[in-house]
Amino acid sequence: MAHFHDQSFRAKRRRLDTDNARSGDGNVAITSPTQLRDLLVFRQDAVQAKLGVNKFKEFLQSIGQAEEENIKSQKLRILKTYCDSQISKNDNSENETAVCFSDLIQTWSFADGNGDESLLTIVPSVLALFLKTASSQLDFQEFGLALSKFLLQKEQLRLFNRGLTATKAKEHLISPCLRLLTEIVSFDGGAVARLVYSARHITYKRLDVFLTPNKAQLESSSDGHQSSTLRRNAQRYVLANLRFQSSAPKTDIIEQQKTIRAFLEHVRKDPRDMVLDIIRSIDRDVVEDADLSRNTKTKFFSRWNLERLVTLYGYDRESDEPNPSGVSIANEVHKILMNICLNTGLGVLLPETGWYPIGSDPESFLTEDDTCIELGLDSAVYVDKYRESVPVRNGTLSYLAQVLRPDIDSLQIELLLAIFKAAPELVADFFTKKTMFVSDPKPTASWMAESAFLFSTIRLPVPTNCGWKEKVPAMPPPVSVVIESILPRPLTQKILSRCINQNAEIVTLFAVRVLTVAFKKLKAVLRIFNTDHGTGQPFWEQAASKLVAEFCRRCPAMKDVTLLFRRTAKEDLQQQEAVSELLACFYEEIPDIAFEETFDVSLVLVDILKRLDTPDLNTDDSEMLLSQLRNILRIAQLSASIRWWQQPASMQYSAFTSILKVLVEAADKDSSHQIYDLLRAVLVENSVLKNSASSFAALTSSLEASASELLDNSLSFLDNCICRVAKKPVHYQDMVASLFENTSGPVSLLIATIVEQWPFVVKNKDTEATAGIATWIAKFSRELKQAGEDSNALRMALDKILEATGNKKARSPLKKALKEISKTEEDHDSDDSSNNGQRGSIQKTSPTLGDNVQSVDLIEIFGSLPTEGKTHHELQRWEKEELVVAVEEGHAAALILCLCSEYEEVRRQAFMNLSRFMLKIKDSKYTEWRAVYLLMGELLETVTRLGLETPVPWIVGECASSCLKVLTNPLHKLYGKVSRFLQKSPSWEVEKIPSYWIDKILLHEPEIYDGYFEEISWLLDLFIRALRTKTDMDIYRRANVFERVLSFYASPTAGVSSKRKILHLIYRSTQVGGSTTLVTRAAIISWIQSQIVVLNTKDASTITALAHAVYDSSEKERVDTWSGGALSQVVENIGT
């Protein structure tokens, strides 16, 4: 390659007039390219050369400072003309690099030869300024690129090397070279950035040294950010390379650990604008760069670098630098750390196994012979070795968690909690290493922050399957690991007892609340431990016992809580409610400990009921007392000492009826469902009512309908009757048998008691009271009839009551009720004889059902219809991971679903990527590669037959995706059936996919004895996910999917979860426009009518709302024509 010296003296250099040349450094404005050429022509007079370069620098600066556009344009034309004259090419070679600014470069070389540091500083500075000016002008693009390439030639790199190898103290020599390299890298969007990387032996030399500030700069960092420093220039250079280099050079830069470490080491001392640029560059050029591999990102986000980023949480508090933009550094770094730490594709978060420490094998059992003593978890093989340290897979996050300061910053609390939620294995690891919460329990800022963090940690959800893959394993997780997520190590019994006994209300309230949350989480964990785990059940039960014992060791004594409840002022309703809830948790979760202390529930109950009966009680206090009542009743339900039927001297009714009055008068029925269930259970246990659900609903409904002024009389009479039945149930059973003969339906003992006690009411000769009670009896009788009580018994009871009643005002409602019941009975007999009984039975449900339907939010219950996102990272994500990880982490399954995209380009890309995936899986060492290869081959064959012009039906994509998840786990209950499905044919018939799986799962026995429910769940999940469009609905219709699943709903083997998924499938069909098909082809409304009569109120409300959703989203004109206009009335009557 020819050097510029070969061409610099082709023409004889003209002689310059010294005086004229010197006049150039005055105030003479540059008005022509000739002036620029005269100023910058090479001369061996260093002073004159410096004056010329400085004049050029001033000219370039004036362009950027020009306010008038015409002046700026004029100067740019002058500069453009000059540049055109300063570029020359070798005509003999097209690949020869053009020579640019030969005089200026020669001046730079002259300065290097003579060691003139002044010129060595000014020449690269003015070249950097030129490129910065030219970068915003399209006319200079060609020259700027030529100049950039020319500067990276061997001879010019020698000049860069001269500056970059200077001692660090000579920043004036180093910084201009760095600025010039930064402009070269950035010019034209990084067009020559690759060339800078190619010369990295010089261009990246000593970057780690330049990035390290000297001691003086660190001590005066507050003054340093007003001027350019060597570190700042080096940082700009690194940022430019991260921004404009391609993936391979960028990867190499990131893997230079010394450089990146120095780049971030003192970031907390950097100026605000630089810190913001660094954060945004990391987010844009590292985190969001899809071309960077996960391994590269892992190296960038090393422990040390993450710790440096965490230090920025305190930047705003410690920096005195003004912040005119109002952007918070803490918020910015928090956003990026939340993304880094929670996204497995960014190199920090690794897949983990939750509460099962790395290295444990919960799927294996210890094989013992009959001569061994069964020790269970006490065996040496299962010894708990994780009390002092817990091995984790996410070592980087473990280190980061220890660095975070939850005691000083709410954002750091949020990040730490998010890490715990994403990687539950780190909770126990954190608390085994971290010492916290050791200060005296006082409401200081740090104590409050730590308490909030601990409270929020306990509130984190229990990991699905305790964190173990896709199912609960055979063995339970170590108790020492689980307990740290329920009641962390800092919350010792001593600490919590001190908090409870503190005089500071906020400290006491914290202890009460945190224990309550811990009890609730313990309950959730014990529910998992106590479910059926097959052959491993004894181990789970033993682990549950050990967990409760460990919890009790950390939990304060029951006596401390009872003393707190007694000493809490009655006016402090908030604390009373909180402590009562904690007491209820003690009785429910650790009753053995709770019953060791004496706590008279009856006295507390009476006191609450008296306060609730206060006339001037405000709404807030009433709600708090109701909540407290619910908590005390939870205790009463477990206590054998509660006296339900005893009437305290200070109260009008017995404890039971007083509570019933509170329930009837409560404004918020939903919040009182616990009281409702308890009272209903008490009446059934004491034989007062027969049909627990509907009969108790009839009782409460009749009382709610009573006028407030007549309610007291009705309750007094009811109280007397209920107490008598509860005390002498056998007597009233005999009375029912003698009073009501020839009855076929259930008869509650309360009816006989009412008949027995009614004459005593009449004898009192209180006309108004008698009429009020009679009105209530009439309403109660009608409601009992609706609830399914025997009509003959009710009719005979009303006959006997009427015989004893002489008061006309009292007889009127009784006679009306008797007439209605008798008429209903006659109608029922008539309907039976004409086989038309269906209509009458359909329209009767719980009295409160109609009100509840309006409040049912089906979207909240089942979720909205999934929509396709705007970005499709799934197309590339699988290639960024190892093949095994891509399969097992679901990236390959996500790629399959791209075949169902509504965009043809996405579908075609997905098809090509799957083809490449097949080739890679075939050459891999993945153990299940044959099955996965076969699945992919059949899928692509099916798609080829269907064509890519239209979206592939979702049943194809979801079936393939679901089968892939099964194939990755040979222990899956469906592994055998999926394998046979793949051996059936080389491609799939789309219309037969649903019916195939219905046949193999619903109509055939499971291959594994305990796999039935898992197979059903898999099938229903597949049907729900695969129903996304009208095309899918049409496939389901032809395969008779809805007829099959609706029939299965009524099967005795259909569990609660399966039934809920079937309802979800029905609702999903309404979301894709399939309601008309459901009505006309699957008789969905008739099916709902047949199911609603056997459901409880909550489920009936949901299915009723579903009926309305089906009708509202159908083609009403077509449906009404099809049904002769009857369907709208039927739907309207459902739930009324």
Are residues 704 and 711 in contact, defined by beta-carbon separation less than 8 angstroms? no
Q: How high is the pLDDT of residue 536?
A: 81
Q: Of the candidates 650, 612, 614, 652, which has an alpha carbon nearest to the alpha carbon of residue 632?
A: 612
Burial of 693 (0-12, 13-18, 19+ CB in 10 A): middle
Coil vs helix vs strand at 361: coil
Would you kindly state where each structural domain of the chain is located, as residue ranges?
A: 350-355+380-532, 686-834, 864-1046
Rounded distance between C-alpha atoms, residue 636 and residue 609, angstroms: 14
Q: What is the pLDDT of residues 1003-1031, one digit of tens each?
A: 888 887 678 888 888 999 999 999 999 99
Type of residue at 718: L
Structural contact between residues 524 and 536, judged by C-beta atoms closer than 8 angstroms: no
Query: Do you know the residue count of the chain?
Result: 1136
Strand, helix or coil for residue 356: coil
Distance, CA of 771 to CA of 767 (rounded, Å): 6
The answer to whether 761 and 767 have CB atoms below 8 angstroms apart is no
Q: 23 is written with which tokens? A: 């006049």
pLDDT of residue 509: 94
State both tokens at 920. Answer: 């890679």
Q: What Cα–Cα distance (Å) separates residue 90 from each residue in 4, 13, 97, 147, 1067?
A: 10, 20, 8, 15, 75
- How many CB atoms neighbour CB 696 within 10 A? 23
| Cα–Cα distance for residue pair 62/498, rounded to 1 Å | 72
pLDDT for the residue 851: 44
What is residue 936's predicted lDDT score, i.e. its pLDDT?
Answer: 92
Give the C-alpha separation, 263 to 708, whole Å. Answer: 77
Residue 96 CA to residue 6 CA, distance in Å, equals 13
Query: Residue 221 has what pLDDT?
Result: 57
Report, as ranges of residue numbers, the positions in the chain whose pLDDT lies below 50. Answer: 1-26, 93, 222-225, 369-373, 827-854
Number of helical (H) and strand (E) elements in the chain, helices listed first: 64, 2
CB 425 within 8 A of CB 485: no
The predicted pLDDT at position 189 comes to 92
The pLDDT score that the predictor gives to residue 838 is 34
Residue 1024's closest CA among 1050, 977, 1058?
A: 1058
> 3-state class of 986 per DSSP?
coil
CB of 484 within 8 A of CB of 420? no
